[in-house]
């Protein structure tokens, strides 16, 4: 429960990598649970993802925070989004 007395939903997510084989995504490592909902981010052909030194350092710090469990709940994330429109 949250401090306001409302139920809090905490979504746990995994980041996995894989490749497409025969039109299907094959995940490396431990398989996902049957029926899992996934979001796929795929790079465009021959397009690089580049970061400067500051951006790379910020990304590595964020990954370390996540590894420590220092994360924001989905509820808090959506609550803090700016209004649409």
Q: What is the pLDDT of residue 1?
A: 40
Q: What is the pLDDT of residue 21?
A: 92
Helix (H, G, I), strand (E, B) or coil at 59: helix
pLDDT tens digits for range 8-56:
565 667 778 888 899 988 888 888 888 888 888 777 777 777 888 999 8
Residue predicted with more confidence, 23 or 7? 23
pLDDT band at 59 (very low <50, low <70, confident <90, very high): confident
* Domains in the chain: boundaries: 49-85
Q: What is the pLDDT of residue 9?
A: 62
* H helix or E strand, kind and range, residue 19: strand 18-21
Taking CA 8 as the corner, what is the angle to CA 5 and CA 13, rounded to the nearest 5 degrees?
A: 170
């Amino acid at each position: 429960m949250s401090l306001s007395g409302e139920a809090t939903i905490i979504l746990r997510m995994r980041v996995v990598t894989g490749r497409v084989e025969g039109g299907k995504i094959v995940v490396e490592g431990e398989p996902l649970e049957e029926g899992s909902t996934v979001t796929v981010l795929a790079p465009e052909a021959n397009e690089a993802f580049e970061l400067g030194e500051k951006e790379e350092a910020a990304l590595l710090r964020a990954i370390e925070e996540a590894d420590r469990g220092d994360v924001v709940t989905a509820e808090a994330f959506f609550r803090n989004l700016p209004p649409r429109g």
